[in-house]
A and B are shown apart, each in its own frame.
Chain A
Amino acid sequence: MTTATSIQLLAPQCVLVFTAIVIFVGGAFSEGRGPWKQLGIFGLVMSGLILAQHQRAFETLLQHNEVAATFGPVSLDLLGYLASWLALGVGVLLVLQVTGTDARGPAPEVIGSLLLLVAGLMLAAQANDLVLLFLALELISIPTYVLLALARPTPAGREAALKYFFLSILSSGLTLYGFSFLYGVAGSTQLADLYSVAAGPLHAFTSLPLLVRLGVLLVVAGLGMKIAIVPLHFYAPDVYQGTSPAAAAMLSAVPKIAGVIVLVRVAAAARPDLGELGWKLMLGLSVITMTLGNVLALWQRNVRRLLAYSSIAHAGYLLIGLAVWLAVPDKSVAGSGHPVTPGLAVSGLSAALFYLVVYSVASLGTFAAIGYLGRPDRPLDTVSELAGVASSHPAIAAALALFMFSLAGLPPLAGFWGKLMLIIRALSVDVGPSAISPGVRHWFIVVSVIAVLNAAISAAYYLRIIGAMYFRPQHGAPAADGGLGTKLATGLAAVLVVGMSLYAGPALHGSDVAAESGAVPLPAAATPRARPAVAQNGQPSVAVPQLSAASR
């Protein structure tokens, strides 16, 4: 496997980056608003086509019945592959619904940074190396700063950009610090090495597991800001309120997906050392996040601020899936001696991924609808402005109601299937056959009850939006000229949600397979690790320290 193949693997990202560059440069020089949106879509489509080529690479891979293969820092596995498709989907929805700050349409830089974002997300999905992970995260963060700065020229927009910028730097600092510890333990930036070290026989008896836990914890903290978990959620309400609906849509989807995928990669690699900390941390965070998100959302009058809190709440539900995944011992962990039924071991992760997909689509749809109902220069702010929309724009109102009911988790919509998968997996940890110590710990039953009650609380504020639209008489028609793009995006998202509601089979299967490959740490890198050459002057450049040798 030569570096050529790793470049070839990154082809879709390259196409996106190249299109972004063309848009940036073209935009800089041409005065009028060029066909940047169409170009953006074209770039995404091309990248999709190339990604489809990878399908063949999989066939070859699957003949040797390997789940995944790594080529240097880049890996080729189902989680990465499906996550890339998700990234492209999200990208299309975002590019469609982004509107400029005035009638002339979106600035080229906004489209360009969106493309870069998507490229960063795809990179994060396929990265297998700490460096590349860091690069991918930054490739997502930096265009986000540009996007937020350009989204709304008002003081509020700038304040939002400012807040996101500083808190994002803080979080990437934390992530990096976590990476440094992981690197310290693994001895190499490859995740596979981290896993082989962590899973090593003697490893458990040294002080290194503490370091691994510290590293993972810092990574969780860093990524927490992206997924909007409680202690790091503070930016979300203010930034969502400040920016335009399209930017808020991007914030609610892309960083969340990236954060979850990177977290899965790192956690899979560092899993043997995590022990109880892993799922207890996740459970604790999920309970606090859910409750705070739902409870504060009840107070909000601004629509986007309300949706921010709802995104925090949904992050809480996600964590339950991850907690279940970390709680149920992986079958490959030697010595756990617990027969684990095939489906359930990895099912927590699949439930979380499926929930993530359903949430992203519904959230993007919601923001597209709100974008459509407002004017480019003055987006729709308070819930009461939604009054009477059902009579003036029945289609959009119906779509918005659909998204609200799906987010609230009401059957028969997709949100319900997401919550069902989460809850049934969570309960199966305590009640099902794989119950580790049945009857002793009822953590997951308690959390399920809290999650279910939170769903009921969330229904309250989703109902407020639906109530405003359908029950209140209309005063002052909302100037719904968000443009064709937002309407298309809403329609597309609605179709996706209805599709997943009526026949959730394929989506569920996809998330299952992705979870299958994501849970297993990637195989060791094919290429030999870069080794510093022995210093010419005959002295071993560095006496290999006694500690790490012992641990090898």
Chain B
Amino acid sequence: MSDPLANIRTLLVLVPALPLLAAVVTAVLGPRVLKSRAHWPVVLGLGLSAIVALMLLAEVNRHSRNMAHDSKLAATGHVTLWRWTGIPDVLATPPAAAAAMEKAHTTPPRMLPFDVDVTLRVDPLTALMLSMVTFVSFLVAIYAVGYMHGDRSYWRFFAYVGLFVFSMTMLVLVSNFLLLYVFWEAVGMCSYLLIGFWYQKPEAAAAGKKAFLVNRVGDFGFALGIFLIWITYGTLNFHDTTLSSGGVLPGVLGQIRLGDASLYVPGGLATAICLLLLVGACGKSAQFPLHVWLPDAMEGPTPVSALIHAATMVTAGVYMIVRCTPLFGASPQAQQVVAIIGGLTALLAAIIAVTQTDLKRILAYSTISQLGYMFLGLGTGSMLGISAGMFHLLTHAFFKALLFLGAGSVMHALGGVIDLRQFSGLRRKMPVTCWTFLIGCLALAGVLPFAGFWSKDRILAAVHERAHAVVAGYHSSFPVYEWLYWVAIGTAFLTAFYTFRAFFLAFCGPERVPAAAHPHESPNTMTLPLAILAAFAAGIGLTLEAGSWFDSFLAESPSLAALAAHETGPAGSHLHVAVLSTVVVLIGIGLAAFFYLGERTQIDRLAMWLRPVYEASHRKLWFDEVYDLLIVGPLRILAYLLSLVDRFLIDGLVNLIGRLPVWLGAVLRPTQNGLLQSYALAMAIGVLVLLGTLVLF
């Protein structure tokens, strides 16, 4: 094979191209031609894209080993589509870039260009994400055919889904911070359109706007981070590029820089960069300060929630941090903050989820909590932690999608009702949904054979190990990771509790149904994906864990190669962590069963006893109210005041100046009083004054 990576390049371009093509075809032909059959282009497109992604995964698996070491080979793995901007000699070469260039035996030029090419690259991390995204989207698309059946603008939904998958795949594929930002916001736009799909519902429109704006706040931090990276490293490209004036410009995550950790700027600047990137990640993955938009995003149709707000979009933040591991590696403080944010979010979200009554809201808070876990994993900074985070991301995608689709089929059956207080005992009427939902719950809670157990256990192990290992040179006075470990364990308990609370409330107990609804099992277009996802949720953890293929494959992606090489030590036995977490989970399930099976009296007494905690949790810890009070409210008042200032002060001043000549006129008017002789007198005086000037000059 003359060029080993030739078909990688074709597959690589094909993955995003198919959904885009599908979206365009649906948009153009949708309203008039396809009408009720508008789903076919997108379903086909996503299916093909999934297959291509899997083939790509296989190809990369074959070549990843030597791609990681042979930079020239890795370079051929890039596909440059077109040049976005190329402005010559814009930035004076910063020291970090100069040092890296010496390393690459090129004389650093005085000024660096600002070249941005639309370049796609693939490595194990990307391949993994691609396959996960496209596969889950394919299943959700099939599910949506049933769920969205009969909707007025059926074609519009599928066009948006196609556009979303294109943006997500491109986000994962591009090899430049600026383009990462481009598709970062493009994904945000698609979520805005999809959340606000039923735009006539005011709550949906408001939820869409809120989602976009909170994401925008996150992107604000992300943009600042990108600018800082550009100022310090002189380029925004991940990969190494050749300068027009000859010589190599080492990319931020390029082979040259990855080879030698010292080329990364340490200290305050690195921490600033990482924290800003973290703000972007928090915005997108709905972490603690910027998580308020995800629960509201449930207003969108359920396939959207399943696809975007469970599996794909929210994981973009995690992907970005994993991609920038070398940057985070340069500042341990930033990694610690990531861990803290992750831990804190996990705990808070779990606490809130416990008392929610809306099934989709519970699942939304559970997503936030599980993402907190992933951030926690990444925060440990060890290869074990990072691969654990990615592994959890993968498994979470499947079982959370499953749970959301399950909730969707419940809503579909009950005519749009999802409030747990209004129905119960659906197990007989909807057996498939019930059992697949149970599998999803087991996976989410982290019961032994199911996927959730393996990935969450890995994360707990990583945190445990990080808590005891003293990283050379950095020892914080406060045992942060110790505390985080126990928080993680507590969250695992809460997760198990609220998961099964939801299951028991929905499916167990006497069969009670809201008045107008007549529950029935969903059509097989909906149950088929449920079954497939259930199978994955059950099996994937075990398969990946057994072959330990996942760790080694992930370790070959360039960003993590250095980290993996650094930690070659034997993986310590984490049996006691697994045992502890299983015990905690079983206690959680037991408690849920005790409270919610049979007549549910004790829980009310408990709720009364813990009144303040219950109230706080039910009110979502008053985040929305606090934000309105502190940020939105004051800004609106300031805006109103400024508009008054504008209308009266500034405009008033301008009109005042405008009226100056008129006032001067009013002063001079009386001179013209009409009497002939006063004119004559005035003329005489005028002439005398003129004569007076004679004396002066």
Contacts and interface: CB of A to CB of B under 8 A. Distances in A.
Contact of B671 (A162, A213, A217, A234): A234
B669 interface: yes
A58 interface: no
B689 to A, nearest CB: 7
A232 B686 contact: yes
Which of B671, B684, B686, B694 has the most chain A CB atoms closer than 10 A to its own CB? B686
A148 to B, nearest CB: 14
Interface residues of B, number: 25
B680 A296 contact: no
Contact of B687 (A162, A163, A221, A298): A221
B548 interface: no
Contacts of B680: 166-167, 170
A171 B682 CA distance: 13
B277 to A, nearest CB: 53
Nearest to B679: A234
Interface in A225-254: 225, 230-232, 234-235, 237-238
Nearest to A170: B680
A21 to B, nearest CB: 32
Contacts of B665: 295-299
Interface in B653-697: 661-662, 664-666, 668-669, 671-672, 674, 676, 679-680, 682-687, 689-691, 693-694, 697
A298 B676 contact: no
Contacts of B672: 234, 237-238, 296
Nearest to A177: B687
A275 interface: yes
A276 B697 contact: yes
Interface in B62-95: none
Contact of B661 (A232, A276, A284, A457): A457
Contacts of B661: 294-295, 298, 457, 460
B666 A299 contact: yes
A220 interface: yes
Given A296-B668, A299-B669, A232 B683 contact: yes
A221 B685 CA distance: 11
Contacts of B697: 213, 275-277, 280
Contact of A217 (B674, B685, B694): B694
A457 B664 CA distance: 12
Nearest to A217: B690
B452 to A, nearest CB: 74
Contacts of A295: 661-662, 664-665, 668
A276 B690 CA distance: 14
Contact of A235 (B679, B689, B694): B679
Nearest to B663: A295
A360 interface: no
A174 B694 contact: no
A167 B687 contact: no
Contact of B662 (A167, A225, A298): A298
A19 B693 CA distance: 46
A225 B680 CA distance: 11
Nearest to A284: B693
Given A217-B694, A296-B672, A167 B666 contact: no
A231 B690 contact: yes
A292 B683 contact: no
B679 A214 contact: no
Interface string B36-63: 0000000000000000000000000000
A210 B694 CA distance: 8
A217 B664 contact: no
A231 B682 contact: yes
A221 B671 CA distance: 19
A103 interface: no
B690 A281 contact: yes
B651 to A, nearest CB: 18
A292 B697 CA distance: 25
A57 to B, nearest CB: 39
B694 A277 contact: yes
B695 to A, nearest CB: 9
Given A214-B694, A221-B687, A232-B683, A296 B676 contact: no
A254 to B, nearest CB: 20
Nearest to A300: B665
Nearest to A460: B661
Given A163-B679, A167-B680, A231-B682, A292 B668 contact: yes
Contacts of B694: 210, 213-214, 217, 277
Nearest to A305: B672
A305 B690 CA distance: 27
A526 B62 CA distance: 116
A293 to B, nearest CB: 10
A189 interface: no
B666 A221 contact: no
A140 interface: no
A552 B676 CA distance: 45
Given A213-B694, A296-B672, A221 B664 contact: no
A278 to B, nearest CB: 9
A189 to B, nearest CB: 23
A221 B686 contact: yes
Interface string A447-478: 00000000001001000000000000000000
Nearest to A236: B672
A291 interface: yes
B686 A231 contact: yes
A357 interface: no
Contacts of A281: 690, 693
B683 A170 contact: yes
B471 to A, nearest CB: 70
Interface in A86-144: none
Given A235-B679, A299-B669, A277 B693 contact: yes
A218 interface: yes
Contacts of B689: 231
Contacts of B671: 234
A165 B680 CA distance: 12
Contacts of A218: 687
Interface in B630-671: 661-662, 664-666, 668-669, 671
Nearest to B694: A213
A217 B693 CA distance: 10
Contacts of A225: 683
A171 B685 CA distance: 13
Nearest to A218: B687
A28 B294 CA distance: 102
Contacts of A221: 683, 686-687, 690
Interface in B283-299: none
Given A280-B697, A295-B664, A298-B662, A230 B683 contact: no
A276 B680 CA distance: 29
Nearest to A220: B690
A167 B676 contact: yes
Contacts of A296: 665, 668-669, 672
Contacts of B690: 217, 220-221, 231, 281
A312 to B, nearest CB: 11
Contacts of A298: 661-662, 665
A351 B686 CA distance: 27
A213 B691 CA distance: 9
Given A231-B682, A296-B665, A174 B676 contact: no
Given A280-B693, A281-B693, 17 more contacts: A163-B676, A166-B680, A167-B683, A170-B683, A171-B683, A217-B693, A217-B694, A225-B683, A231-B686, A231-B687, A292-B668, A295-B661, A296-B665, A296-B668, A299-B662, A457-B661, A460-B661
11 contacts: A167-B676, A167-B680, A167-B683, A220-B690, A221-B686, A221-B690, A231-B685, A277-B693, A292-B668, A296-B665, A460-B661
8 shortest A-B CB distances, which residue pairs? A231-B686, A234-B679, A295-B665, A277-B697, A221-B687, A295-B664, A457-B661, A276-B697
Interface of B: 661-662, 664-666, 668-669, 671-672, 674, 676, 679-680, 682-687, 689-691, 693-694, 697
